[in-house]
Structure 1
């Protein structure tokens, strides 16, 4: 594809060949897929403009270099080399419609997902492998999100059917008892006891459904956004939790300055409320203390800690702590609080982690929420 042609001395057949080669080059320059050719040593010998856009390298930067510079992992390198070795050993070009998914690395270090097909051509130096590559990073991300949501929904369906079956069964039994008590006042359980049993189970189901609805909308961009003074949000949460704090004689320590961010006040409150409720409920110390601290500001993010001086979290529970419906011990909670917290934190561009440091310590970051 690098023939030199002199129009004054070339024959008509040479002219046709050069014209044909130029036509092929024009086609390669026009397509949106990257077209790369490598020789039997894996050295790049052809690179079209679409490859510039996908990988971030110019033609001059990559010609004569090893194609393996483009791959992200050893197993992806194997895709190139297997195709190349098979071509050399069998003298049979690969089937172009066999598409493989690989991970590659752009010049800027970003990983991208690619669909790759290969074919071969031979010249006087032997076989060359032609790679046709399409960037499917966005499609891959959507597929992963669909897969994640599908798995999440499957887990929800399984857990809901399990968790709601118990209260519903108890409700049916309670209604039978209530019917019996109405027919025969001497039957045993009082109507008041049965009504309380029904109330407890209806409340339990209501909390489950409410928690699921909160979790479902937690990652969406909220309709109401404002500048939120975090200290004032925590003050409101403390008012809501005043009964639990007084009942357990908890000392709560809150930094005077917790910063501010652009977001939804209710969502920010949900984060602190869930973490502080856990810190109070699971403390168990003779003199329980809960702290809400601003421990850093970095790259537009606020770094917080909500910590207690209780026994901490069992190590074997750490990995599953943020899973929907997962609970530590028989607390009677829905197991949705920490899942909700993580989903909100993530939507604010942050991360959350937990460790034991003189008690349970949740450390997380929050920034200004952005649509998308």
Structure 2
């Protein structure tokens, strides 16, 4: 009886142990099921993620057998007639590459070699960019091979991504660069570029010929230390600091007449045109340099010839003017004959004035003008100019209204000491310019005023100056709206006024018209 009860106790213990084991097994099974569900979810997430990628992706074992592919891989296979037999799951991808034939067989064999190197652990990464044209268009792909994380034997991930757009852009860039090189290599002007630090980054063959430095010698050098005369350094240092931060500067977008120091140490005259270029690393400057040596030599020859010709014309022209003046004293001349002789005199005087103007302008520009002041009757000069213009360009001299503002008892206000020849040319150009700019029969006003030191002449007309030339009214060759205009009238008036110690400026608007003001010392300053 005791043995039976003892057995029951043992059975009870065993039953409890069995229940505990069953509970643990149930827990383990539950955990396993949960793990399997999580794994399935993870696999589904991975598949969905891979299917969202544009690259054609396959997982291979170490023998090259395809274990898994994404949607893009299958879609590409279908579109190119390869699915389901050629590149589907279970197919050996290495065999496909090894047996490839035709145009791209070489690339396929090379790619298979890359797969084997990653699968064998020789390398952890392989990439090959290769062409693979369809029947209708050119295509490029990048094939990448990487190891798949996990235990041995090693598996690899193969991904093919289309890179046609990038390759086309690169090809277009290469062609553009070839065209650019051909243009710059054949250019007669020196073309160069500096980086944001002022170092030479481009130097064409014309720059080598002009400046004496080869491309290798110039590249990486500070441009201004290389070719700029020392007197330009301060201006460059100031200007380059602004350019470095903004790409702007006083020289950008302009053509400058400067000097460059070439390799043998000589300085040559040049024209420099500058522009700015912004890239990822900052502002670059592009310069085009033209050698002005021959141009300056030819201009000097031209100026010399013109000056000699004008000088040689003065003597016979003086005779042409004097002879009609002598004939005018003959009482037997008819009115018509006197008018014709007077026309010859006026035309001759105008031509002589133009010759003198050209000679004086050359002297001022070349620094050889010698200011020899003499007493001048300003009112008589203005009246003479009006009469000359009236006969020369056929306008009524009476349309010029002259106002002289001075105190009648102050006789010193009636004359000044200056260069009468230059004054006549200045006033002729300014009054002629006002007449040509005004509407027919509109008056031209010339106001003369004096103070203790200066004489001020204001020439006014009702027409405003064209907006396109207002800022450069006194610059050389500036003209607008005048047929046959040379753009030298106001320029010569300005530099001649300054040559005799005076000042000149212009104001203009639609409301007041145009006023040109000339201020001349009554007595030359020391």
Give the shorter-chain TM-score range: 0.3 to 0.5
Higher RCO by CA contacts (8 Å cutoff, separation 6 or greater): 1
The TM-score with structure 2 as length reference comes to: 0.29
